[in-house]
Structure 1
Amino acid sequence: MALSQRESHICSSDLVTDLLLWRKWHGGFIVLVSATTFWFLFERAGYNLLSFVANVLLLLVVILFLWAKSALLLNRPLPPLPDLEISEASVLKAADALRVWINYTLSIARDIAIGRNLKCLLQVAIVLWVISFVGNLVNFLTLLYIVVLLSLSAPVLYHKYQHHIDEKLCMTHRVIQMQYRRIDESLLKKILRSSNKDKKTQ
């Protein structure tokens, strides 16, 4: 049982790798065309997500109903539907992954609130500010479409130009670390000065 789960995990990771690196170009092409179609329908054509889902489900139900009726009349096989149920193992796996993320978020909040971790506070503040800034520029659907485009293009470019990208990333990381240390030191100096002034006034 454990071996089959491991094999399925390896198989799924290989499929994702093939998709992101365009080893099987038709898979990447289908994802790209589907994402572009959805983005165009909801962002440019003004289609509503709820009405789109309802119309697709209605069309699917009508097709399956007519297929089943015609199969009985013409002595043809019924529609090949799989078992439409979610297994307990998949629910437990999803809940376990969600629990890990929730516990990680709560541990960060505890470090900031109780541990008074200034470095963690600055990192969270920068990430939230970036999310807020990007959210003001584009809406969620366009951002999701950009993420799909980047996930289909960035791994291929990184695989092709890995050496040059790694060099640039190392240089950028060093510069960011130096700037972060300067900001951290200046903030600590300001905090120490204000605490010393408070002590002197008392």
Structure 2
Amino acid sequence: MGEFRPISVHHALGGGPVADTLLWRKCYGGVMLLIGSTVMWVLFERAGYNFLSFVANSLLLLVVILFFWVKSASLLNRPLPPIPDLDISEESVLIAADEIRVWVNRALATVHEIAVDGNLRTLVLVAFGLWMVSCIGSLFNFLTLVYIGVLLSLSVPLLYDTFQPQIDEKLIVVHKNMSVVLKIVDLILQNIPMAQKKQKKTE
């Protein structure tokens, strides 16, 4: 077992604007994300506002504002609205497709381990994960889960970055205990197919 080597949280998050936002190094981005997600959650979850109506009304307001802006600009010799050229590059599409392909291949490999190889350990882990998701989903709806995810993403990385040495000590202990538990589970699961084969031979 290798030694636990702490790494920079900022580097682990990619070291870009997203990392700066999650670690509150750019307070503007974190505040805007927090306010925006809170407003959305209050509108759709508490006020009962319909998501489709909200999108349609927002687009309608934007189109009307842009239309009158262009008309007034041509009459008053003012500059046109600063709208950039909205174009998705082929490179960005290929990067997104490659990332999606990686996740799809992982999912297919997991299915192959369960359905073809008969890996009982993978089946137990997947079943436990899906059961946990089902339990959490029964407590909250999807929008609330997304909002909780935003709150956690704005708080957990910052807390870990602040108290990394203390948290790493606890994680090392948890990692050692989990390794022992997984070894015991592997031994149990490896003996189950052998018992089944012995029963088939006696039949």
Report the TM-score when normalising by structure 1.
0.86
In structure 2, the residue matched to 1:93 is 95
1:43 aligns with 2:38: no
In structure 2, the residue matched to 1:83 is 85
Two-structure CA RMSD over aligned residues (Å) = 1.8
Q: CA deviation at 1:175?
A: 2.0
Query: How many residues are aligned here?
Result: 190
Indicate the larger mover: 177-186 or 52-61: 177-186
Q: CA deviation at 1:190?
A: 4.5
Q: CA deviation at 1:198?
A: 4.1
In structure 2, the residue matched to 1:16 is 18
Consecutive unaligned residues of structure 1, counting only runs of 5 or more, are 1-11
Consecutive unaligned residues of structure 2, counting only runs of 5 or more, are 1-13
Indicate the larger mover: 115-124 or 26-35: 115-124
In structure 2, the residue matched to 1:177 is 179
Deviations 1:69-105 (A, max 9, x none): 1111111111111112222222122112111111121
Report the TM-score when normalising by structure 2.
0.86
Deviations 1:168-191 (A, max 9, x none): 112112222323333333344444
Letter in 1 for 2:103: W
1:111 to 110, 113, 126: 113
d(CA) in 2 for partners of 1:13, 1:63 = 37
Q: CA deviation at 1:13?
A: 3.8
Q: CA deviation at 1:57?
A: 0.3
Q: CA deviation at 1:124?
A: 1.6
1:56 to 45, 58, 62: 58
Q: CA deviation at 1:194?
A: 4.3
What is the DSSP-based 3-state SS (H/G/I as helix, E as strand, rest coil) of the residue aligned with 2:108? helix
What is the DSSP-based 3-state SS (H/G/I as helix, E as strand, rest coil) of the residue aligned with 2:83? coil
d(CA) in 1 for partners of 2:117, 2:158 = 41
Indicate the larger mover: 18-27 or 189-198: 189-198
What is the DSSP-based 3-state SS (H/G/I as helix, E as strand, rest coil) of the residue aligned with 2:16? helix
Give 1 or 2: higher helix fraction.
Answer: 1
Identity %: 54
Q: Is the 8 A contact 2:20 2:26 kept in 1?
A: yes
d(CA) in 2 for partners of 1:189, 1:110 = 21
Give matches, 1:93-172, under 5 Å: 93-172=95-174
